[in-house]
């Protein structure tokens, strides 16, 4: 399976949003998740679970719903957290000034051979090595 685009956590979270103000973002996120050539990382899945089930989240989902969604997303290539990914993330953080967590996403995307990271949280159009950041909600 070839992955072209790496999805950040916010895409997964928007896909389950029940907030009417986020309806357009939800539709875009759902459409992205219907594509076949996506990739994720264990970090992104962990962040999704924590945020989706957070008791203070207005539209929090129960544990079984969150884990069920995660199971469906395992159809995509998933990059594990490894020492190689962590070391690469530290280098990317130092070179590009990203937060460690964003750098870890870039490192995971690079290992998977992705050419694009889809994220609302990073700078749209920024190129990090051979990977372009795209904000689908612009």
Answer whether 0.75 is exceeded by the pTM. yes
Mean per-residue pLDDT for 87-98? 97
Strands (E) across 1-138 are located at: 5-7, 38-41, 78-79, 116-118, 127-128, 131-134
Q: What is the pLDDT of residues 10-46, one digit of tens each?
A: 999 999 999 999 999 999 999 999 999 999 999 999 9
| Long-range Cβ contact pairs of 79-88 (< 8 A, separation 24 or more) | 79/39, 79/40, 79/41, 79/42, 79/108, 79/109, 79/111, 79/112, 80/41, 80/42, 81/41, 81/42, 81/43, 84/111, 85/41, 85/111
Q: What is the mean pLDDT of the chain?
A: 96
Report the pLDDT value the prediction gives residue 79, as an integer from 0 to 100: 97
Q: Is the pLDDT of residue 2 over 70?
A: no
pLDDT band at 1 (very low <50, low <70, confident <90, very high): low
- When divided into structural domains, the chain yields a total of 1
Domain holding 128, by residue range, is 5-134
Q: Write the CATH number for 63.
A: 3.40.50.1010
pLDDT band at 52 (very low <50, low <70, confident <90, very high): very high
């Amino acid at each position: 399976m070839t992955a072209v685009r790496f999805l950040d956590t916010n895409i997964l979270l928007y896909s389950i949003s029940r907030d009417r103000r986020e309806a357009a973002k939800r539709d875009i996120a759902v459409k992205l998740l219907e594509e076949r050539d996506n990739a994720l990382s264990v970090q992104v899945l962990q962040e999704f679970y924590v945020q989706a089930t957070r008791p203070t989240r207005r539209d929090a989902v129960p544990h079984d719903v969150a884990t069920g969604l995660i199971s469906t997303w395992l159809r995509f290539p998933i990059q594990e957290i490894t020492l190689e990914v962590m070391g690469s993330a530290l280098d990317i953080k130092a070179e590009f000034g990203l937060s460690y967590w964003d750098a870890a996403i870039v490192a995971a995307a690079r290992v998977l051979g992705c050419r694009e990271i889809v994220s609302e949280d990073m700078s749209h159009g920024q190129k990090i090595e051979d990977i372009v950041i795209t904000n689908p909600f612009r």
